[in-house]
Amino acid sequence: MVTASPNDGYEVKVWEDPYWLRVTFLRGSSESSAFCTWNALPPRLDTYEN
């Protein structure tokens, strides 16, 4: 993931670690997250909707 920009009305939160990255877009009680890991395995991307 290189960049992420929220649409109007959303906020974005980012958590970083040497072996993973999580980006979450929030609006009210809704959230969408992308979670990428690369620790000793090929990179993997999981997404979550809440």
Provide the residue ranges of all domains of the chain, joining segments of one domain with +.
Answer: 11-49
Interatomic CA distance for residues 36 and 46, integer angstroms? 6
Low-confidence ranges of the chain (pLDDT < 50): none
What 3-state class would DSSP assign to 43? coil
pTM attached to this predicted model: 0.77
Beta strand 44-49 with 30-37 is antiparallel
Q: Which two tokens stand for residue 20?
A: 């993973």
Cβ atoms of 20 and 38 closer than 8 Å: yes
Cβ atoms of 22 and 12 closer than 8 Å: no
Interatomic CA distance for residues 32 and 45, integer angstroms? 13
At residue 7, the pLDDT reads: 83
